[in-house]
């Protein structure tokens, strides 16, 4: 069942007008250096609310660094990033999460010794209140919010087709199921924006198609903005509404997928001077 | 008869289901048994039982830290010492013991006990930032250091601790009732144990417990879900500290004295064994482990005489191993065997064992139901 | 007086450096903190004493057999307990060795009891004097042996194929395996070396200042943790430097502690642990060790 992909025309280019929805996430002159290596060099772009914004580029372009800076796992040397006007960088990862930024990891970030149900329930961590007193003593407030959390969790388990493995340990389910658990859990956090780190890495063609259908539905069904770091160009072309291309830490292109695909600078970065693809992407 | 037991067991297990309901039912059954025991057992076994119950409290506290939070902390004895000695100092008025002055505050014993528990929680809080800074190895090594430094302080701060001879402990007196006899201590320890067990279970099955296990399994993903790792670690150190403080105060009451020699590395190793045997991350497992580690030495001492290499006469110089030594060797082997073959401890094989027992009983019962013409 | 304390510190430090080195070498090879090393030390002293005096074998044959025995024990533990568990967490492997330590130390404690087990060593209580400094003969021999071992291993690691193989395996075991290094052999050799060192150090530590086999050597092993921690547990240089430092600080403290009785009667016993806390506060990774960067 193919869900509707957001109309690419309606999500127009972020222009000079500072429309809050058009520039929901604003990255300005972000620079990150590791020792002598500049991973990101004064990168600037904006992400529109409700879009599926892909960040692509050859290996070593700085895509992972970008994700890590935006989610608080890495410090920026200079520059800014704001989400809905709120400063994102120079914050700890858990603070960034509380601001409504979710992220997934390349190796599915599941908690292997916890059950799938517990994994999912952890997604509600920022939305629940019980601590060592309320939860330990099973006060009514704690019991109430647990019950509500459980109901919501079951809904999502159903939606992401992991209901049948709720009692299994997350380390014992299949790779695809782990990925779905991770996404479901991240969405249970009710984030405004989710950063996906190569969501189809290690998947075959069938799994990739299923995952891309799921990702395409996220803005419409869950009201989240999606940032997608990916190598798989087919996936990006199929579902992205906007593409930013990085190469050696520089932004070299930024626009709708079709424009980016035709951009000679981008072809150069991917194909190199010999005309052969550097990383075997079909262009 | 086997058939009957097997089907009763099957029906019972089916009725109980699994998870929280089953655990609660098992607990209720255990509680009934344990309530009646002190009236039936000899004083030696009542005393041993008190130690077992107290150890279970400490084991739950350690399990919370080591099992659920995954902290490589090998010095529970440090926390127990804080609890025990705090009670000693707070509950006794200044005195002159064995030729020296010892400090004391002379508070009512009930208040002293509560403050002792609180003090241990505070020590946990103070340790948390240090522990967060260290990696696994550093923490393990630092905790060993703390045992030795702790023992040194206990031996040498004689004004406070009474030195190597330690201090005497007054019996707990609350609202006019004095917990002087072993039997009264049994019920006190049991109450504390039940409360601790319920608390730990509640914690692990809700938000704080999930945060703990998450930061153990995958710290990066946990942070991405909004778990503030240093804060959550501080909280579990406090909780573990408080529970260990209860254990410490109860140990003091059970021994009626406190001495530095008790809180050594070997004591910590015993609690490590309890946690490994019982199963990391399971409060029920911790209780089971504590029972085994506390009861085995007493069992060997009482009934092990028939084993040729065991010396139960208590006289030094004879060639057999003492009950204590036999137990230690058994626990060393058990630690190795469990880590190798049953890493989840007894908690993980509990349901499996019940399956096996049930199956065994059913197989035993079957021959009587089999007709002569039955083919296999 | 200070010169003598320094000399004492250097000789003691050389033994500490050896023990710390033994910890680090097994950690680098098998990611295991060998808590049982302390009981190996006790074993070394006890077996030498038992064979030398009670079995009348004479000191040197007894010492040789004792070293062989401790080495063999260490290798057996590696082969049958540690190797099947490679890949498990630090915690699991560490607690495993705590289990082993429990067994061995209970047995040695049982044999020793409160008896005295003299070793029958050739140094006895002989003391040698150089200028104003007098050193026990056994300590001096310990220093010489430690230096020989230290230099020997430094050369061995650097120039022999085995040494290079071990260093490669410690740095990147996957690549080393692909290059043909037999990881099982490497870990066996590491634990063998560690056991041998423990046997030797245990013997020396049982000759002076104690009267014989000494069960408290287990505590001595733990007090070399700070030395190993100085190198983050995976730097042999750090362990050696740390061992010398700890030895010096311990000896000097012991010399002056009579002036510091307000801090307790035997301050030198906990000085290593205080040093440990200081080291770890300055840098949780140790001061020499290789930093681990977690990739997200």
Report the C-alpha dihedral over residues C109, C114, C115, C117, rounded to 10 degrees.
Answer: 50
Q: Average pLDDT for residues B271-284, to the nearest whole number?
A: 91
- Asked if the model's pLDDT at residue C285 lies above 80, the reply is no
The answer to whether the beta carbons of residues A187 and A122 sit under 8 Å apart is no
- What letter does residue A240 receive in the DSSP assignment? -
b/e burial code for range B343-359 (CB count within 10 A of at least 16 → b)? ebbbbebbeeeeeeebe
The per-residue pLDDT for C261 is 73
Tokens of A238: 């199929």
Nearest to C33 among B137, B157, B276 (CB): B137
User: What are the tens digits of pLDDT across the range B234-246?
Assistant: 999 999 999 999 9
ipTM: 0.87
Question: Could you give the CA distance from residue C96 to residue C85 in angstroms, rounded to a whole number?
Answer: 9
- Asked if the model's pLDDT at residue C246 lies above 50, the reply is yes
B321, C225: Cβ pair inside 8 Å?
A: no
- Asked if the model's pLDDT at residue A17 lies above 60, the reply is no
From chain C, pick out residues whose CB is under 8 angstroms from the CB of A68.
296
Residue of C nearest to A93 (CA): C296
Selected residue with higher pLDDT from B96 and B92: B92
Give the E-state strand segments of chain B in sequence order: 95-97, 100-102, 167-168, 172-174, 177-179, 257-258
Report the C-alpha dihedral over residues C5, C6, C9, C14, rounded to 10 degrees.
Answer: -150
Nearest chain B Cα distance for residue A160, angstroms: 18
CATH of B2-367, one of 1.10.3470, 1.20.120, 2.30.30, 3.20.20: 1.10.3470
A138 at interface of B, judged by CB pairs closer than 8 A: yes
Nearest chain B Cα distance for residue C225, angstroms: 7
The per-residue pLDDT for B25 is 79
Instruction: Give the DSSP H or E segment for A254.
Output: strand A250-255
B339, C107: Cβ pair inside 8 Å?
A: no
Q: Average pLDDT for residues B38-47, to the nearest whole number?
A: 85
- Asked if the model's pLDDT at residue B326 lies above 50, the reply is yes
Nearest to B152 among C84, C102, C264 (CB): C264
Subunits close to C (at least 3 CB pairs below 8 A): A, B
Torsion sign (Cα): C107, C109, C111, C117: positive
Q: For chain A, give every domain's residue range.
A: 22-100+191-283, 113-189
Q: Average pLDDT for residues C216-220, to the nearest whole number?
A: 85
The per-residue pLDDT for B100 is 66
The per-residue pLDDT for A275 is 46
Nearest to C277 among B142, B321, B329 (CB): B142
CATH placement of domain A22-100+191-283: 3.40.50.300
User: What are the tens digits of pLDDT across the range C16-33?
Assistant: 999 999 998 898 888 888
The per-residue pLDDT for C192 is 94
Candidates B196, B206, B231, partner chain A, best to mutate (most A CBs within 10 A): B206
Selected residue with higher pLDDT from B1 and A117: A117
Assign A3 a pLDDT band (cuts: 50, 70, 90): very low
From chain A, pick out residues whose CB is under 8 angstroms from the CB of C296.
64, 68, 73-74, 105
Torsion sign (Cα): C10, C16, C18, C21: negative
Tokens of B229: 């790792």
Selected residue with higher pLDDT from B24 and A114: A114
The per-residue pLDDT for C168 is 80
Q: Average pLDDT for residues B87-112, to the nearest whole number?
A: 80
- What letter does residue A169 receive in the DSSP assignment? B
> Phi/psi at A173 (nearest 5 deg)?
-100, 170
User: CATH second-level architecture of C2-282?
Assistant: Orthogonal Bundle (1.10)
Torsion sign (Cα): C204, C206, C207, C208: positive
Q: Average pLDDT for residues C213-221, to the nearest whole number?
A: 83
Residue of C nearest to B275 (CA): C95
- Asked if the model's pLDDT at residue B365 lies above 80, the reply is no
- Asked if the model's pLDDT at residue B23 lies above 80, the reply is no
- What letter does residue A39 receive in the DSSP assignment? E
Give chain B's end-to-end CA distance (angstroms, integer).
23
Assign C67 a pLDDT band (cuts: 50, 70, 90): very high
B134 at interface of C, judged by CB pairs closer than 8 A: yes
Residue of B nearest to A185 (CA): B225
Q: Average pLDDT for residues C220-226, to the nearest whole number?
A: 86
Determine how β-strand A101-103 pairs with β-strand A193-197.
parallel
A118 at interface of B, judged by CB pairs closer than 8 A: yes
A109, B202: Cβ pair inside 8 Å?
A: no
User: What are the tens digits of pLDDT across the range C126-169?
Assistant: 777 777 777 888 888 888 888 888 888 888 888 888 788 878 87
Prior bond of C209 cis (ω within 30°) = yes
Question: Could you give the CA distance from residue C29 to residue C183 in angstroms, rounded to a whole number?
Answer: 9
Nearest to C270 among B70, B74, B152 (CB): B152
A126, B203: Cβ pair inside 8 Å?
A: no
From chain C, pick out residues whose CB is under 8 angstroms from the CB of A73.
296
The per-residue pLDDT for B310 is 65
From chain C, pick out residues whose CB is under 8 angstroms from the CB of A64.
296
The per-residue pLDDT for A190 is 94
C296 at interface of A, judged by CB pairs closer than 8 A: yes
The per-residue pLDDT for C287 is 62
Nearest chain A Cα distance for residue C295, angstroms: 10
| B 190-219: CB under 8 A from C | none
Q: For chain B, give every domain's residue range.
A: 2-367
Torsion sign (Cα): B54, B57, B60, B61: negative
Assign B312 a pLDDT band (cuts: 50, 70, 90): low
Tokens of C138: 């056994």
Question: Could you give the CA distance from residue A75 to residue A224 in angstroms, rounded to a whole number?
Answer: 25
Q: For chain C, give every domain's residue range.
A: 2-282
Assign B26 a pLDDT band (cuts: 50, 70, 90): confident
Question: Could you give the CA distance from residue C179 to residue C166 in angstroms, rounded to a whole number?
Answer: 12
């Amino acid at each position: 069942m193919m869900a509707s992909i957001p109309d690419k025309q309606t999500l127009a280019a972020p222009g000079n007008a500072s429309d809050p929805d058009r520039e929901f996430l604003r990255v300005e002159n972000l620079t990150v250096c590791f020792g002598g290596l500049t991973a990101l060099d004064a990168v600037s772009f904006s992400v529109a609310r409700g879009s599926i914004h892909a960040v692509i580029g050859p290996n070593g372009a700085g895509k992972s660094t970008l994700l890590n800076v935006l989610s608080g796992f890495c410090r920026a040397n200079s520059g800014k990033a704001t989400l809905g006007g709120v400063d994102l960088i120079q914050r700890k990862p858990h603070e960034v999460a509380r601001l409504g930024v979710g992220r997934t990891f390349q190796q599915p970030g599941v908690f292997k010794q916890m059950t799938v149900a517990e994994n999912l329930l952890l997604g509600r961590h920022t939305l629940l209140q019980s601590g060592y007193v309320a939860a330990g003593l099973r006060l009514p407030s704690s019991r109430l919010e647990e019950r509500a959390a459980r109901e919501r969790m079951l809904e999502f388990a159903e939606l992401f087709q992991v209901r049948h493995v709720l009692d299994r340990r997350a380390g014992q389910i299949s790779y695809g199921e782990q990925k779905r658990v991770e996404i479901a859990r991240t969405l249970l956090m009710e984030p405004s924006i989710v950063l996906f780190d190569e969501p189809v890495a290690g998947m075959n063609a069938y799994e990739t198609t299923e995952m891309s259908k799921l990702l395409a539905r996220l803005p419409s069904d869950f009201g989240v903005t999606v940032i997608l770091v990916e190598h798989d160009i087919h996936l990006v072309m199929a579902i992205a509404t906007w593409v930013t291309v990085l190469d050696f830490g520089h932004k070299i292109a930024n626009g709708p997928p079709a424009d980016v695909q035709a951009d000679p600078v981008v072809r150069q970065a991917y194909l190199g001077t010999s005309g052969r693809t550097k990383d075997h992407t079909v262009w | 008869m086997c058939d009957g037991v097997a089907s009763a067991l099957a029906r019972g297990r089916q009725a109980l289901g699994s998870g929280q309901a089953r655990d609660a039912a098992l607990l209720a059954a255990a509680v009934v048994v344990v309530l009646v025991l002190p009236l039936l057992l000899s004083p030696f076994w009542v005393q041993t039982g008190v130690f077992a119950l107290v150890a279970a409290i400490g084991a739950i506290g350690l399990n919370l830290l080591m099992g659920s939070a995954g902290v490589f902390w090998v010095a529970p004895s440090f926390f127990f010492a804080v609890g025990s000695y705090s009670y000693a100092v707070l509950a006794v008025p200044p005195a002159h013991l064995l030729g020296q002055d010892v400090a004391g505050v002379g508070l009512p014993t009930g208040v002293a006990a509560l403050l002792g528990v609180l003090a241990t929680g505070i020590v946990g809080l103070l340790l948390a930032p240090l522990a967060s800074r260290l990696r696994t190895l550093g923490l393990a090594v630092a905790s060993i250091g703390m045992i030795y430094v702790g023992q040194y302080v206990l031996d040498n701060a004689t004004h406070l601790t009474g030195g190597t001879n330690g201090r005497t402990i007054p019996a707990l007196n609350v609202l006019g009732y004095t917990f002087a006899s072993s039997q009264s201590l049994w019920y006190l320890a049991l109450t504390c144990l039940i409360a601790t067990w319920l608390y730990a279970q509640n914690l692990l099955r809700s938000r704080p417990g999930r945060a703990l296990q998450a930061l153990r399994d995958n710290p990066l993903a946990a942070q991405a879900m909004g778990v503030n790792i240093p804060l959550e670690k501080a909280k579990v150190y406090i909780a573990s500290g408080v529970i260990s403080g209860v254990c410490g105060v109860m140990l003091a009451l059970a021994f009626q004295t406190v001495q530095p020699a008790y809180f050594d590395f070997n004591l910590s190793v015993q609690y490590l064994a309890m946690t490994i045997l019982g199963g990391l991350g399971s409060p029920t497992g911790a209780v089971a482990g504590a029972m085994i580690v506390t009861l085995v030495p007493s069992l060997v001492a009482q009934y092990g005489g028939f084993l040729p290499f065991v010396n139960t006469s208590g006289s030094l110089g004879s060639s057999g191993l003492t009950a204590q030594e036999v137990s230690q060797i058994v626990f060393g082997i058990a630690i190795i065997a469990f880590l190798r073959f049953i890493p989840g401890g007894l908690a993980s094989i509990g349901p499996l064992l019940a399956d096996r027992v049930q199956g065994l009983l059913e197989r035993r019962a079957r021959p009587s139901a089999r007709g002569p013409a039955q083919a296999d | 007086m200070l010169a003598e304390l320094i000399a004492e510190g250097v000789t003691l430090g050389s033994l500490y450096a050896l023990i710390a080195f033994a910890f680090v070498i097994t950690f680098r090879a098998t990611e295991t903190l060998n808590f049982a090393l302390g009981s190996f030390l006790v074993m070394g002293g006890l077996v030498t004493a038992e064979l030398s005096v009670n079995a009348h074998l004479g000191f040197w044959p007894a010492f040789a057999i004792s070293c062989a025995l401790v080495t063999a024990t260490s290798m057996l533990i590696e082969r049958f307990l540690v190797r099947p568990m490679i890949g498990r967490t630090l915690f699991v492997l560490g607690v495993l060795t705590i289990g082993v330590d429990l067994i061995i130390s209970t047995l040695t404690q049982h044999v020793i009891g409160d008896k005295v087990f003299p070793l029958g060593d050739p140094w006895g209580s002989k003391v040698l004097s150089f200028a104003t400094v007098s050193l026990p003969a056994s300590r001096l021999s310990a220093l010489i042996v430690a230096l020989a071992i230290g230099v020997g291993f430094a050369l061995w690691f650097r120039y022999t194929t085995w040494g290079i193989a071990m260093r490669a395996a410690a740095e990147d075991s996957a690549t080393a395996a692909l290059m043909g290094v037999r990881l099982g052999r490497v870990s066996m050799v590491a634990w063998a070396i560690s056991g041998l060192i423990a046997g030797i150090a245990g013997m020396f530590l049982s000759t002076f200042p104690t009267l014989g086999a000494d069960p408290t050597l287990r505590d001595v092993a733990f007090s070399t943790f700070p030395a190993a921690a100085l190198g983050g547990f995976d730097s042999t240089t750090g362990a050696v430097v740390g061992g010398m430092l700890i030895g010096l600080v311990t000896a000097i403290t012991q010399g002056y502690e009579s002036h510091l009785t307000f801090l307790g009667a035997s301050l030198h016993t906990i000085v290593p642990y205080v040093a440990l806390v200081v080291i770890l506060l300055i840098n949780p990774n140790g001061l020499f060790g290789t930093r681990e960067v977690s990739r997200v």
